Amino acid sequence: MNKGAGQNFNNRFSGYIFLLVLGVILSSCSSSKKIRKQNVETVISTAKSYRGTPYRYGGTTRSGIDCSALIFHAYNSVGYQLPRTSAEQSKLGKKVSEQKLKKGDLVFFATSKKRRKVTHSGIVTEVSPRGVYFIHSSTSLGVTEDNLSNNYWNKSFRFGRRIL
Q: Does residue 152 belong to any structural domain of this protein?
A: yes
Catalytic member of 40, 43, 44, 67: 67
pLDDT band at 2 (very low <50, low <70, confident <90, very high): low
Catalytic member of 73, 136, 158, 161: 136
**42, amino acid identity:** T
Number of domains in the chain: 1
pLDDT band at 35 (very low <50, low <70, confident <90, very high): confident
- 67 as an active site residue: the answer is yes
Catalytic member of 120, 146, 148, 164: 120
- CATH no. for residue 116? 3.90.1720.10
Q: Which domain holds residue 119?
A: 41-162
Q: Does residue 72 belong to any structural domain of this protein?
A: yes
Q: Does residue 7 belong to any structural domain of this protein?
A: no
Q: Does residue 141 belong to any structural domain of this protein?
A: yes
Q: Does residue 6 belong to any structural domain of this protein?
A: no
Q: What is the pTM of this model?
A: 0.81
Q: How far is CA 16 from the centre of its chain?
A: 38
Tell me what the mean pLDDT of segment 45-54 comes to.
98
Q: Does residue 93 belong to any structural domain of this protein?
A: yes
pLDDT band at 6 (very low <50, low <70, confident <90, very high): low
Q: Does residue 25 belong to any structural domain of this protein?
A: no
